[in-house]
Amino acid sequence: MHRAQNLQYLQDRPVMLDELWMPAGLFPGLDAEGFAGREGTIYGLYQRRFGLSVLRTEERLRAEAASPDIAALLGLPPAAPVLRILRVAHAIGDRPVELRLSWVDTREHEYRNSLG
């Protein structure tokens, strides 16, 4: 199983932290350097390099208190409220290709997702 972390910024501030898990058999040769140095989106990397097109995602959302580690990465005080998102991404044939756990600081931005 491959694991990656992705910190996303808006207006030079961290607003979203993703922890991703991907089956190693679907992503041969994927390493931290290749993931971090990708051009474009994560799903674009899956498609261009591994021929896996994400067609559908399922998400579960809830509010929770940020752990000290999550809060530090997002620049928040410990236990600050964050939006927690659990996502499973599916490729052609409804094959699960990624499990993603995200934490979002929604104090100044709202979470919006559109796949398509």
* Domain residue ranges of the chain, discontinuous segments joined by +: 2-104
> Which superfamily is assigned to 2-104 in CATH?
Chorismate lyase-like (3.40.1410.10)
Task: Compute φ and ψ for 94, nearest 5 degrees.
Answer: 60, 30
pLDDT at 110: 83
Nearest to 57 by CA among 31, 34, 86: 86
Q: What is the pLDDT of residues 68-83, one digit of tens each?
A: 999 999 999 999 999 9
Q: What is the pLDDT of residues 21-70, one digit of tens each?
A: 999 999 999 998 989 889 989 999 999 999 999 999 999 999 999 999 99
Residues with Cβ within 8 Å of residue 78, at least 6 apart in sequence = 66, 67, 68, 71
Q: Is the predicted pLDDT of residue 116 greater than 70, yes or no?
A: no
Task: Tell me the CA end-to-end span of the chain in Å, nearest whole number.
Answer: 26
Token readout for 67 is: 């752990």
Q: Is the predicted pLDDT of residue 115 greater than 70, yes or no?
A: no
3-state helix, strand, coil in the chain (%, to 5): 25, 45, 30
